[in-house]
């Protein structure tokens, strides 16, 4: 089976992890700082906070943004469920706004129509690895006095108008799950231009515990003393996994380049295949292409998907609109509320895309897809 995504672990990664395992720190040691620094040098901004997953990163970002009871988060339904569920865990509500038909990223006009005085956060998703319309979304968020959170789980290494993803939105989140561009097995991170928001992320990652003497409320408790100033969780990334991440990050540029080459190749190969539509690439941004979703006629999507799977091509569908999941349906969300995203869902198939995908395998995927669609 050719999978839809796959990680790569090389000898350098194994050596880095082994060194971490033999050190004094399995967690919360110098390798987390190293990883945060290396990530910061890629994504820019005032700093990064490594956490235990992309889901933890979203929960941390929303908590740092102050999402709580009475607050609403406006986001896209065409995302992994965590973009929405993390906001609900903060006690907030979620409003789904529709996407742009060309890029399947959040439509700024739909967001503008969806914001209310309760909107605390607009959460964009860089669908498939192409940055959303960040400038317009920032403008809409500013007008609503909300923060822009960017779920860049797909877009590490992408740029928007020459600026790296991670230094544009108020808070940007990343995932390092093995299918993502670089991996720490499980892991995630938040980046921001705002040191105050980063402090709030660090506090949330580790129980809201304060050790800094200057900030203690009860200064005379004793030399052992540390105190809790806010609620948080254990969302720390272990040193062992940070070591893997730092090693993987050295290949980020090569990985993104290879993904871009494969995407250009897919586009060329598919140009002659009738009934296949690719995402539109905006000229002012360089996508990192985590996924390569294509759209086929809705009436033939299922048979096409099944044919590909039967022929050993591990295709996927990203995503069932979040508000169609039974949990959300029972909360009262209605089908039909985001017609562009819902129509796209009915047509989407993600083709295999990962740096070690061979050109021969890619040719095979296209041949099998074309075969499935032949009238």
Ligand X SMILES: *Cc1c(COP(=O)(O)O)cnc(C)c1O
Out of 82, 111, 263, 349, which residue is the one contacting ligand X (CB under 6 A)?
A: 82
Could you say whether residue 54 binds ligand X (CB under 6 A)? yes
Catalytic annotation, pick one of 7, 31, 154, 180: 180
Stretch that binds ligand X, among 52-60, 103-111, 113-121, 261-269 (CB under 6 A): 52-60
Eight-state DSSP code of residue 254? H
Q: Binding ligand X by CB under 6 A: which of 83, 159, 167, 304?
A: 83
269's tokens = 């190969």
Stretch in the footprint of ligand X (CB under 6 A) among 66-74, 77-85, 163-171, 306-314 = 77-85
Query: Does residue 219 carry a catalytic annotation?
Result: no
Apex CA 190: angle with CA 13 and CA 114, to 5°? Answer: 135
Residue numbers 98-117 binding ligand X by CB under 6 A? none
* 53 binding ligand X? (CB under 6 A): yes
Contact 189, 216 (CB under 8 A): no
Look-up: residue for tokens 């439509």? 107
Q: Starting from the edge strand earliest in sequence, which strands make up the sheet with 348-351, in order? A: 277-278, 292-295, 348-351
In the complex, the smallest distance separating the C-beta of residue 279 from ligand X, rounded to whole angstroms, is: 15
C-beta closer to ligand X: residue 120 or 154: 154
Q: Which is nearer to ligand X, 154 or 323 (CB)?
A: 154
60 binds ligand X (CB under 6 A): no
User: What number of H helices and E strands is found in the chain?
Assistant: 13, 15
x/- string (CB under 6 A) for ligand X, residues 146-165?
-----x-xx-----------
| CA–CA dist 249, 266 (Å, integer) | 25
Considering only the stretches 75-83, 209-217, 266-274, 342-350, report the one whose residues sit in contact with ligand X under the rule CB under 6 A. Answer: 75-83
Q: Which two tokens stand for residue 251?
A: 């290949």
Q: Does position 125 bind ligand X by CB under 6 A?
A: yes
The closest alpha carbon to 48, from 35, 65, 59, belongs to 35
> Do 366 and 266 contact (CB within 8 A), yes or no?
yes
What distance in Å separates the CA atoms of residue 139 and residue 160, rounded to the nearest whole number?
15
For ligand X, the binding residues in 187-216 under the rule CB under 6 A are: 188
The set of residues, in sequence order, having a beta carbon less than 8 Å from that of 247 and lying 6+ positions away, is 12, 13, 15, 16, 17
Q: Which residue is nearest to ligand X (CB)?
A: 54
> Rounded to an integer, what distance in angstroms lies between the CA atom of residue 151 and that of residue 349?
21
Only one of the segments 19-27, 53-61, 67-75, 197-205 lies at the binding site for ligand X (rule: CB under 6 A); that segment is 53-61
Among 31, 59, 177, 295, binds ligand X (CB under 6 A): 177
Residue with token string 């789904």:
96
Q: What is the DSSP string of 304-318?
A: HHHHHHHTTB--B--
Interface positions, 293-332, toward ligand X (CB under 6 A): none
Q: What is the footprint of ligand X within residues 258-287 (CB under 6 A)? A: none
Residues forming contacts to ligand X in the complex (CB under 6 A) are 53-55, 79-80, 82-83, 125, 151, 153-154, 175, 177, 188
Active centre residues (catalytic): 180
């Amino acid at each position: 089976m050719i999978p839809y995504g796959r990680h790569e672990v090389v000898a350098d990664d194994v050596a880095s992890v082994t060194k971490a395992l033999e050190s004094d720190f399995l967690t919360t040691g110098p390798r987390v700082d190293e990883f945060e620094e290396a990530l910061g040098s890629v994504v820019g901004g005032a700093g990064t906070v490594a956490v235990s997953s992309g889901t933890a990163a979203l929960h941390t970002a929303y908590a740092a943004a102050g999402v709580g009871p009475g607050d609403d988060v406006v986001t896209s339904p065409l995302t992994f469920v965590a973009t929405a569920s993390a906001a609900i865990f903060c006690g907030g509500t979620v409003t789904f706004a529709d996407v742009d038909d060309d890029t399947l990223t959040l439509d700024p006009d739909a967001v503008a129509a969806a914001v209310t005085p309760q909107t605390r956060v607009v959460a964009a998703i860089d669908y498939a690895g192409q940055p959303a319309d960040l400038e317009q979304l920032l403008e809409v968020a500013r007008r609503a006095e909300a923060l822009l959170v960017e779920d860049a789980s797909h877009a590490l290494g992408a740029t928007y108008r020459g600026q790296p993803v991670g230094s544009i939105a108020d808070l940007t989140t990343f995932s390092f799950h093995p299918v993502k561009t670089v991996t720490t097995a499980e892991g995630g991170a938040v980046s921001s231009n705002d040191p105050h928001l980063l402090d709030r992320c660090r506090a949330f990652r580790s129980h809201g515990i304060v050790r800094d003497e200057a900030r203690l409320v009860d200064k005379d408790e004793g030399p052992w003393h540390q105190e809790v100033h806010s609620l948080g969780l254990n969302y720390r990334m272990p040193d062992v996994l940070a070591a893997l991440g730092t090693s993987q990050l050295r290949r980020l540029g090569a990985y993104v380049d290879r993904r871009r080459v494969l995407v250009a190749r897919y586009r060329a190969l598919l140009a002659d295949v009738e009934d296949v539509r690719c995402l539109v690439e905006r000229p002012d941004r360089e996508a990192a292409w985590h996924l390569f979703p294509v759209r086929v006629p809705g009436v033939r999507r299922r048979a096409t998907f099944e044919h590909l799977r039967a022929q050993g091509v591990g295709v996927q569908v990203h995503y069932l609109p979040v508000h169609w999941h039974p949990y959300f349906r029972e909360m009262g969300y209605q089908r039909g509320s985001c017609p562009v995203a819902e129509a796209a869902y009915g047509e989407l198939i993600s083709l295999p895309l990962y740096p070690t995908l061979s050109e021969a395998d890619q040719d095979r995927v296209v041949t099998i897809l074309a075969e499935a669609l032949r009238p």
